[in-house]
Structure 1
Amino acid sequence: MRAKGKSKSMGRAVLAGLCGAALAGAVLAAPARAGTGGSAHAPVRGLSWQLKESGTDARFRGLAAVSPDTAWAAGTGGTVLRTSDGGGTWRDVSPPDAGNLEFRDVEAFDGRRAVVLAIGEGEASRVLRTDDGGATWTESFRNTDTRAFYDCVTFFDHRHGLAMSDPVDGKYRILSTADGGRSWKVLPDAGMPAAQQGESAFAASGQCLVASGPRDVWLATGGAARARVLHSADRGLTWRATDAPIPAGDPARGVFGLAFRDRTHGIAVGGDYRAGQASPKAAAVTGDGGRTWRPAGQPTGAYRSGVAWFPGSRATAIAVGPTGTDVTTDGGRTWRTVDTGSYDTVDCAGVRGCWAAGEKGRIARLERK
């Protein structure tokens, strides 16, 4: 969206040491500390957000968790950071001459290979790839259509992926790659339903386009009369749109982030991103791959832009936004605010491999207290 989208990053680590089923019921209930600090109380017993020194004041809406040790973050001013020691140190691997680019999404296959998406009108929307940990970058796509504005990118595997643009000629535009992001082509739009008046996607967390499995992908929308989620089961060739019970009817409202733990079970979060605006019913769940969505019985405490399933659990997920972190232990039906720190996006890769990032260079990892 012109005003303001993360998919599952590659290289998911195995759950180490703790059983996801045991974690699912272990949310603490103590009240959160006031302020903008990192850890109020833990999303999972014995675990809490621990802020890391990023060395920058960039705002990070792109985040890719590779493992508890390795993660990538992409943000304002063409900034890309990478850590390989659990956030102890961050290496600035920003592409040269990228200071005027706005990175909003990053997809990482491992500690050396990653793809970043820059947003904006016309040529501001670009895709770059690195194969050497950010030492060098290759621009693999530059948008030349002034009507297009790309928001998010996602990958099904190390080779196949998609990127999406806000509607062009009344339909969302989809890019496809079959070589890991080294080259891209625009897919035909015959199988894409018409966009609503004023509808677009939010490039708020890198989660407006997410994939699960080898062929399924979902696209989150807002800004129109109804918030919707579009689903494709054939890597973006044909799509079906479903209304989502999340606040809509305003350019600032809609679905901002999606997370699927498999091809059927998903969570949507969003609301109204304007500070001070109420966001009731800002979370929803699906158990049928997005054919239908149900509002959370007890939704997130406020607008949330990012969401991720806790590794190894079928019921626990984490949602983040500028006013805090919420946790669900029942698959998204009820949520509890557990932290007041400001984050825009979250991604997980193995226990103690959950990361969050946001404004003023804030990056945190979920760690044992």
Structure 2
Amino acid sequence: MRRTARTARTGGGRAGRAVVAGTVCAAALAALTAAAPAPPAQAHQRPHWELKATGAADVRFRGLAAVDRRTAWVAGTRGTVLRTTDGGGTWRDVSPPGAGELQFRDVEAFDARRAVVLAIGEGEASRVYRTDDGGASWTETFRNTDARAFYDCLTFFDHRHGLAMSDPVDGKFRILSTGDGGRSWKVLPNEGMPAAQDGEAGFAAGGQCLVSSGPKDVWLATGGAARARVLHSADRGLTWTASDAPAPGGDPARGVFALAFRDRVHGLAVGGDFRPEQPSPRAAARTADGGRTWRPADVPPPAYRSGVAWLPHSRTAALAVGPTGTDLTTDGGRTWRTVDTGSYDTVDCARDHGCWAAGEQGRVARWER
């Protein structure tokens, strides 16, 4: 988003890019232990985040791709991309050469060798890179040349088809499409895109403002305007419908920051107001009709959340993360309870139960059950 359009959105897209990164400090990680007494050697912990040392304390990771329990990619400030293939025991710096001035906010990985990363910013700062060899080499496959565009998020339907979204240009969100795994991109026509509200934009807070489920369905989260909205397309971004979301609006710092869909009808939305001194009383919502209607959580997270993910193979459990903690729902988003107070910006889960979180000060963790 923009503060005078453009500096207010560092917690997200143009609206919060520069503010959030420097306003919230990491809290100490609080692991939950089992209530039943047991000798230390036999004690069992409840599910919790286990921190993994990355050696990148000066980097904030808002891009995250969980391939499985052993393999994950993270992307962040200073043009940094790291990859682990041993469960976070070691991390390899696979940053694209010459990218030190870029801010990576999203990464989509197909496996341990193939990944696509998005750098955000005005004009030519918005770029896409692809690697096919685990980050040993990268190819720049897109560079934005329109000064009015500001790209926020990526998503892929499969190994070939994907989309990227930009804040509104000429009054409508701009959609970029690829049909070859991110090797080439084209701007889609905007005739099927609803008009944007005044000040409306996406938040590049954790790579989850544009998400997909199945071969054609995709959702776009917005904020910064009078009403927070979720836009849905059932044809890979050609036509869209918009629905109001019960999240805070009316300010460049407020809106829906992240979405997660476990299928084409059941979804979760989280967000709020990213400013630490502001309350976020409606920080989560849920849908059971593909995003046509949204219901606020009966018991929402206690503060702003920037990332959300369904737990694998579950119809009711999900995690939401933000600078002040992690919340768990076990009833499909109706109620949430805080299970950790560490600072994370984004969360992602793989099908083998490999769930990862990443955030400021080089923090990366894996969910241990």
Q: TM-score when scaled to structure 1?
A: 0.90
- Provide the C-alpha distance between the structure 2 equivalents of 1:106 and 1:313, rounded to a whole number of angstroms: 24
Whether the 8 Å CA contact 2:311–2:353 is kept in 1: the answer is no
Question: 1:39 offset after TM fit, Å?
Answer: 3.7
Please name the residue that 2:55 is paired with.
55
Please name the residue that 1:27 is paired with.
none
Name the amino acid aligned to 2:361. K
Question: 1:131 offset after TM fit, Å?
Answer: 0.2
**Pairing 1:340-355 to 2, within 5 Å after superposition:** 340-355=341-356
**Pairing 1:35-184 to 2, within 5 Å after superposition:** 36-41=27-32, 46-57=46-57, 58-184=59-185
- Provide the C-alpha distance between the structure 1 equivalents of 2:29 and 2:347, rounded to a whole number of angstroms: 14
Name the amino acid aligned to 1:40. A
Question: 1:299 offset after TM fit, Å?
Answer: 0.6
- Provide the C-alpha distance between the structure 2 equivalents of 1:167 and 1:102, rounded to a whole number of angstroms: 20
SS at match of 2:153: strand
Please name the residue that 1:26 is paired with.
none
Question: 1:42 offset after TM fit, Å?
Answer: 7.3
- Provide the C-alpha distance between the structure 1 equivalents of 2:29 and 2:364, rounded to a whole number of angstroms: 9
**Pairing 1:242-321 to 2, within 5 Å after superposition:** 242-321=243-322
SS at match of 1:361: coil
Structure 1 segments, 4+ long, off by >4 Å, are: 42-45
Question: 1:38 offset after TM fit, Å?
Answer: 2.6
Whether the 8 Å CA contact 1:317–1:332 is kept in 2: the answer is yes
Deviations 1:17-41 (A, max 9, x none): xxxxxxxxxxxxxxxxxx8233432
- Provide the C-alpha distance between the structure 1 equivalents of 2:363 and 2:146, rounded to a whole number of angstroms: 34
**Pairing 1:330-349 to 2, within 5 Å after superposition:** 330-349=331-350
2:244 counterpart of 1:239? no
Deviations 1:61-105 (A, max 9, x none): 000000000000000000000000000000000000000000000
SS at match of 1:297: coil
SS at match of 1:123: helix
SS at match of 2:361: helix
SS at match of 1:78: coil
- Provide the C-alpha distance between the structure 1 equivalents of 2:33 and 2:335, rounded to a whole number of angstroms: 17
- Provide the C-alpha distance between the structure 1 equivalents of 2:90 and 2:79, rounded to a whole number of angstroms: 19
SS at match of 1:118: strand
- Provide the C-alpha distance between the structure 2 equivalents of 1:40 and 1:136, rounded to a whole number of angstroms: 38
| Structure 1 unpaired stretches of 5+ | 6-34
Name the amino acid aligned to 2:51. L
Please name the residue that 1:11 is paired with.
none
Deviations 1:175-229 (A, max 9, x none): 0000000000000000000000000000000000000000000000000000000
- Provide the C-alpha distance between the structure 2 equivalents of 1:217 and 1:112, rounded to a whole number of angstroms: 25
- Provide the C-alpha distance between the structure 1 equivalents of 2:353 and 2:91, rounded to a whole number of angstroms: 18
- Provide the C-alpha distance between the structure 2 equivalents of 1:175 and 1:41, rounded to a whole number of angstroms: 43
Deviations 1:31-65 (A, max 9, x none): xxxx8233432799732101111011200000000
SS at match of 2:298: coil
Question: 1:350 offset after TM fit, Å?
Answer: 3.4
- Provide the C-alpha distance between the structure 2 equivalents of 1:165 and 1:324, rounded to a whole number of angstroms: 28
SS at match of 2:199: coil
Determine what percentage of the aligned residue pairs are the same residue.
78
- For this pair of structures, how many residues does the alignment match? 339
Question: 1:275 offset after TM fit, Å?
Answer: 1.0
Question: 1:121 offset after TM fit, Å?
Answer: 0.2
Whether the 8 Å CA contact 1:167–1:195 is kept in 2: the answer is yes
Question: 1:351 offset after TM fit, Å?
Answer: 4.9
- Provide the C-alpha distance between the structure 2 equivalents of 1:42 and 1:131, rounded to a whole number of angstroms: 41
Name the amino acid aligned to 2:167. D
Name the amino acid aligned to 1:158. H
SS at match of 2:78: helix
Name the amino acid aligned to 1:287. A
- Provide the C-alpha distance between the structure 2 equivalents of 1:199 and 1:41, rounded to a whole number of angstroms: 39
Quote the RMSD (CA, aligned, Å). 1.4
Question: 1:281 offset after TM fit, Å?
Answer: 1.0
Whether the 8 Å CA contact 1:39–1:50 is kept in 2: the answer is no
Whether the 8 Å CA contact 1:219–1:231 is kept in 2: the answer is yes
Whether the 8 Å CA contact 1:42–1:49 is kept in 2: the answer is no
Whether the 8 Å CA contact 1:352–1:367 is kept in 2: the answer is no
Name the amino acid aligned to 1:47. P
- Provide the C-alpha distance between the structure 2 equivalents of 1:300 and 1:40, rounded to a whole number of angstroms: 18
- Provide the C-alpha distance between the structure 2 equivalents of 1:158 and 1:260, rounded to a whole number of angstroms: 18
Q: TM-score when scaled to structure 2?
A: 0.90
Whether the 8 Å CA contact 2:312–2:353 is kept in 1: the answer is no
- Higher RCO, Cα 8 Å, sep 6+: 1
Whether the 8 Å CA contact 1:38–1:364 is kept in 2: the answer is no
SS at match of 2:200: coil
SS at match of 2:257: strand
- Provide the C-alpha distance between the structure 2 equivalents of 1:56 and 1:173, rounded to a whole number of angstroms: 33
